[in-house]
Structure 1
Amino acid sequence: MAIIPQGSLFSWNEIAGLGDLERLRLVLEHLPDEALMQKLEKARGKGRDDYPVRAMWNAYIAPVVFQHPSVESLRRELSRNGQLRWLLGSGDRVPSAAAFSRFWKRIEAHEAELESLFVALQQAVAASLPDYGKRLALDSKAIRSYARHRPKNTAPDGRRDGDADDGFKTGHDREGNTTKLRWFGYKLHLIVDSTHELPVAYTVTPASKADVATAHALLDKLQAKRPEVLTRAEVLVADKGYDDSKLIMRQWDEHRIRPVIDIRASWRDGEATRLLEGQTNVVYVGDGRVFCVCPETGTMRTMAEGGFEEKRGTLKKRCPAQAYGLSCAGVARCPVARGLRIRLNMDRRLFPPIARGSARWVRAYRKRTAVERVFSRLDTMYGFETHTIRGLKKMRVRVGFALVVMLGMALGRLREGWSGKLRSFVQVA
């Protein structure tokens, strides 16, 4: 917490039950931000101290927690709310809009320290949540720039965004309808803990940056700077935009992380099944499911799952007749009546360590929606639907700041015994 050495002349000391102020107190008291505060104070030097660094830092946290749409909205709240001014440490003065703008530029100059604060919060959360970081979900989110589309060969000025570019995404709804999204701006690539819906790693890129390439870059960064994150992880879930053989192989071969990634249709039109290598009556389909064909009747049945053998690098498949007690006329002379093993390297996309189509794969893939819910909170609760941000660095720092507040809220709840409410942003009592 950015501690304010200030006594109170009013009867506002007991604020534990004040609702909105309680949420702000949770973040302010549990953020490990002392190192950042000292660097910001050192950078200010002996200049004017009309608005202390710690009070301004707290004031920037307040609009995120209170969901103020703008700095002006916060300033109006400060002018009429003495309790809030006392909690932030700003006394009777309300910082000007120019003061807020100047202070944010100082924060942008300390982006590395903000990232260190994000890591410190993760380590603190992991100390209280032993399963934090074990089950991960990965996805990207479109964030539009506040600037209009930049025409080519246009001289830069303060209203244009020279870092943003055009992004395209294709989605499908539950009815199978295709939707296309085009935007000018950026992409937030985010890895979250899918159990507790808390951020684990992030990066912001121009909108045209490919998801798979950025996923590799995120793994490179974690491997170089935070290898303990990859060591702790057990499963990583992603949609078919991350269906890439190299990415799937890297997760398992290098880090022993089980990839649960949806698969794109890549077979030729009209090709329904393929014969499994080395077998005479076993076929598979484009989504990785495996079937045996009865030698007598030609009936095709889904083979039962027998689990994954890590030392052998194989998936076990069992005879459905024996596994489920079915009647099969050809079981006596079926070559796979006792089951079979499928090597992962037969096709790394189709045959990952958690078998596609299995109940375990389906349960794991359902967790992918955790990252979408985090994106929704960033839009609605942290203000990214109506932001006024131009430029890659500003966007990166704003995103990092929002994720720091998110982790700070979670850490405060953990330390004060509210571990069951980590997902909720508004309701804490």
Structure 2
Amino acid sequence: MYVRQTWLFSFEEWLEIEPSERRIRFFSALDLSSYAAQLTSPAPQGAKPISREAILRAFLAAPLEGVSTFTKLHQRLESDLRFRDQCGFSLHEPVPSISTLSRVFQTIVDQGIAVKLFGDLVRQCRDLGLVDGEHVAIDSTAVQAYERKRPRSGVQATDQANWGAKFDAFGNKLAWFGYKVHLAVDTKSELPIAVEVTPANVFDGDMAIPLMEKLYQERWKTRFLLMDAGYDQVKNYEAARAFGAQAIIPMNRRREKEPPEGMDFDGTPRCTMGYRMTYWGAESDWLKFRCPHATGHVDCPLGMAACSASNYGMVVKKHVDEDVRRYANPHRGSRTWKMLYDERTAVERCFSRLKEWLTLDGVHVRGIEKVTAHAYINAIVLLASALAMHRTNRIEQVA
């Protein structure tokens, strides 16, 4: 059994805090001075530039306020003096124009500011024990493009919006033109720790390894990688093993008509009488299976004598490396395996918050680089919110 103490961060409770107070707490968790310095020209010309740190704060506050366009952000800064002040703008000077907001956002993209800030916040969360990366769920979600749709036929650029399709929970095929946001989410906190953005036509199974590589580069000690059946490819199991983790993925049986001889689809051996053997635990990466009659799971007409002269009954051991796709430690179908797979819903809840409560679904920029920055900014809001709540709780404990 794998039992972990969880740190419960409720994003829904965070949103119940009065907006002005929430912004105070949100900004208290962020030190943006070094990032803002990268947005400032080393040799400014002309009039005094508008504070780049204030603009960066406004970009980060916008998803929390449901603001998804430069136009709406400009209007909010003009009409809401408290919001403007909390972002750090002078109340005696004009707010940044829409074109200024657009130019600064482009600089954020060019300088990779969102990617750097995301990485730094993830490391802060890890240092504080808010995330541990021990159990990580991987999945993707569709994002509509803010671009003119192109025909489905013909050669398409590999770095631009494209057509994608997925099946929903009811088996209906859903098509969209745009992108996919791929996340690796820490199941303990339901916070994102790695992000990738691709055109919508990129297959989910091909993006597991790039996300694993990001986890490896950050030296996460991941034990289990939880994915749905769309990631059921040998290369993903092998990559997980190479990174010292176990992939927990349901088998996709659409291409398999029959299981290998002497076993079921899930890797459970069958005894000489054709009964499924009983999983009896694992030692290191050796899976142990016992005679089902000896364990009381079936009433074999020949008893244990058909397979073994031992009173213990026949025993079969399988090493995970014999077939990394079919064998897993813990064994497929075991209670522990199912409990681990149930944690995969953490990534679904993370996507739900990004789309329903923030602005991941409200893409109003064009091109994969800008959409990537947009996705990172929304992920940053989740991390900063968790840090703000942690800081608030620590202050209350001290008080």
Question: What's the counterpart of residue 98 of structure 1?
Answer: 99
Q: Secondary structure of the residue that 2:328 maps to in structure 1?
A: coil
TM-score by length of 1: 0.78
Alignment of 1:230-269 (within 5 A): 232-252=221-241, 254-266=242-254, 268-269=256-257
Cα gap change, 1:265/1:418 in structure 2, threshold over 3 Å: closer, same or farther? farther
Cα gap change, 1:326/1:43 in structure 2, threshold over 3 Å: closer, same or farther? same
Q: Secondary structure of the residue that 2:281 maps to in structure 1?
A: strand
Moved more, 51-60 or 86-95: 86-95
Residues of 1 paired with 2:298 and 2:214: CA distance? 51
Deviations 1:197-254 (A, max 9, x none): 101111111122222222223334444x42x12xx111100011111112102212x2
Question: What's the counterpart of residue 10 of structure 2?
Answer: none
Q: CA deviation at 1:104?
A: 1.2
Q: CA deviation at 1:353?
A: 2.0
1:259–1:354 CA contact under 8 A, matched in 2: no
Alignment of 1:338-353 (within 5 A): 338-353=314-329
Cα gap change, 1:286/1:60 in structure 2, threshold over 3 Å: closer, same or farther? same
Q: Secondary structure of the residue that 1:120 maps to in structure 2?
A: helix
From 195, 201, 207, the counterpart of 2:188: 195
Quick check: 1:125 aligned with 2:125?
yes
Question: What's the counterpart of residue 215 of structure 1?
Answer: 208
1:194–1:370 CA contact under 8 A, matched in 2: yes
Residues of 2 paired with 1:161 and 1:81: CA distance? 42
Residues of 2 paired with 1:387 and 1:362: CA distance? 36
Percent of residue pairs bearing the same amino acid type: 28
Question: What's the counterpart of residue 23 of structure 1?
Answer: 22
Quick check: 1:107 aligned with 2:81?
no
Question: What's the counterpart of residue 165 of structure 2?
Answer: 168
Unmatched runs of 5 consecutive residues or more in structure 1: 1-16, 155-159, 277-283, 420-429
Unmatched runs of 5 consecutive residues or more in structure 2: 1-15
Cα gap change, 1:246/1:21 in structure 2, threshold over 3 Å: closer, same or farther? same
Residues of 2 paired with 1:323 and 1:146: CA distance? 60
Residues of 2 paired with 1:221 and 1:74: CA distance? 33
Moved more, 315-324 or 53-62: 315-324
Amino acid at match of 1:168: A
Q: Secondary structure of the residue that 1:374 maps to in structure 2?
A: helix
Question: What's the counterpart of residue 184 of structure 1?
Answer: 177
Amino acid at match of 2:202: K
Question: What's the counterpart of residue 288 of structure 1?
Answer: 267
Question: What's the counterpart of residue 381 of structure 2?
Answer: 405
Q: CA deviation at 1:395?
A: 0.6
Deviations 1:13-41 (A, max 9, x none): xxxx9711222223212124332112212
Cα gap change, 1:95/1:343 in structure 2, threshold over 3 Å: closer, same or farther? same
1:114–1:401 CA contact under 8 A, matched in 2: yes
Residues of 1 paired with 2:57 and 2:72: CA distance? 16
Residues of 1 paired with 2:99 and 2:301: CA distance? 83
Deviations 1:102-146 (A, max 9, x none): 2212212211x3322111111110112265211100011121211
Alignment of 1:346-361 (within 5 A): 346-361=322-337
Deviations 1:390-428 (A, max 9, x none): 101111111111111211111111222289xxxxxxxxx
1:161–1:390 CA contact under 8 A, matched in 2: no
TM-score by length of 2: 0.84
Q: Secondary structure of the residue that 1:410 maps to in structure 2?
A: helix
Q: CA deviation at 1:361?
A: 0.8
Residues of 2 paired with 1:366 and 1:233: CA distance? 17
Question: What root-mean-square deviation, in Å, do the aligned CA atoms of Structure 1 and Structure 2 show?
Answer: 2.9
From 186, 189, 198, the counterpart of 1:205: 198
1:32–1:121 CA contact under 8 A, matched in 2: no
Deviations 1:307-330 (A, max 9, x none): 2222xx321113344445875553
Residues of 2 paired with 1:234 and 1:161: CA distance? 33
Cα gap change, 1:275/1:37 in structure 2, threshold over 3 Å: closer, same or farther? same
Residues of 1 paired with 2:48 and 2:291: CA distance? 77
Residues of 1 paired with 2:388 and 2:237: CA distance? 36
Q: Secondary structure of the residue that 1:178 maps to in structure 2?
A: coil
2:58–2:87 CA contact under 8 A, matched in 1: yes
Amino acid at match of 2:226: V
Q: Secondary structure of the residue that 1:189 maps to in structure 2?
A: strand
Residues of 1 paired with 2:55 and 2:131: CA distance? 35
Residues of 2 paired with 1:343 and 1:117: CA distance? 42
Deviations 1:176-211 (A, max 9, x none): x52212222111111111121101111111122222
Residues of 1 paired with 2:384 and 2:18: CA distance? 17
1:237–1:368 CA contact under 8 A, matched in 2: yes
